[in-house]
Amino acid sequence: MIEVYSYEEMEQKNLPLDILEEMRYFSYARYDNFENFDCISIEMLDFGNLLLSKGSVLFYISQDKTFCFTSRKEEVTALFQEIDEKFTAERAIYGFFEEMIKGDDIAFDSIEKEIMELEQALIVTGKRDCVSEIISLRKRLMVLKKFFEQLLNVLDILMQNENEIFDRKTIRSFQMLYRRAERRFQNVLNLRESVTQVRESYEAEVDISLNTTMKIFTVVTTIFLPLTLIAGWYGMNFQMPEYGWKHGYLFVTVVSAVFVLLGILFFRRKKWF
């Protein structure tokens, strides 16, 4: 069985600490081959909440010994206890990888459901404020993309087995795990495309709404433009003939009302409103 230690206990082992310390600083997954040993570092995702981490794990693997260092000693120890004790250390590492990504269905089902509900809200109910939902979806999908992308790189290097640490049966198991991770990575890309389509639909709805608003302002401005001209005309500092006519004010009022009415009828006929 693999011995599990905390990162603080790493100094107690006669191991290349500089290399192990460097391996701790990574994004989601990393695999390095050295002369007599391999190192694997991986972030344990919380598939129930992708924006949180369940801690990290660092494996030191050689022909005669295997150590596991982690920031969550109790959780990782419990996880290895669920793996059959008859497994070799190398086989137990495969079991750890399998257990670690077992809950990925939760994340994919949740995100897919959210995308469908958001798309339905945009089309059916005309939802107008969905920026926060789109940003949240893109953040979680970005986390999944980086995780599975780097996990594929780790599995690809691992299957090459340069130091001949893993037996053929374990390598075949890792090959199956690689294909599963590859399908998950493709699912992430498909979901990202779906979110992009939802975002484009939302932007189209916003543009249509903005165009409608601008159309209304254009119609109103056009209808009252003749009145502006009349106001400017009679606002000039000249003696107009109509000033001495007792029906001049009524005449201007009627002309203004006729212009407004004609404008409304014209735009109604054009179906602008």
Q: What is the pLDDT of residues 62-94, one digit of tens each?
A: 877 888 888 888 888 887 877 765 667 778 888
- The 8 Å CB, 24+ separation contacts for 12-19 are 13/67, 15/60, 15/67
For domain 3-207, the question of CATH label 3.40.720 is answered with no
Distances (CA, A) of 252 to 31, 169, 231, 247: 86, 97, 10, 9
Q: What is the pLDDT of residue 132?
A: 83
Question: What distance in Å separates the CA atoms of residue 161 and residue 170, rounded to the nearest whole number?
Answer: 11
The torsion angles phi and psi of 38, rounded to 5 degrees, stand at -120, 155
Q: Answer yes or no: same fold for 3-207 and 214-269.
A: yes
Question: Which tens digits make up the pLDDT trace of 160-187?
Answer: 888 788 888 888 988 999 999 999 999 9
* 185-242: pLDDT as tens digits: 999 999 999 888 887 777 766 666 676 777 777 778 887 888 888 787 777 776 777 6
Per-residue pLDDT tens digits for 31-65: 887 877 888 888 888 888 888 778 888 888 887 78
Report domain extents, the chain.
3-207, 214-269
Superfamily of domain 214-269 in CATH is Magnesium transport protein CorA, transmembrane region (1.20.58.340)
For helices 248-269 and 168-234, give the axis angle rounded to 10 degrees. Answer: 150
Q: What is the model's pTM?
A: 0.71
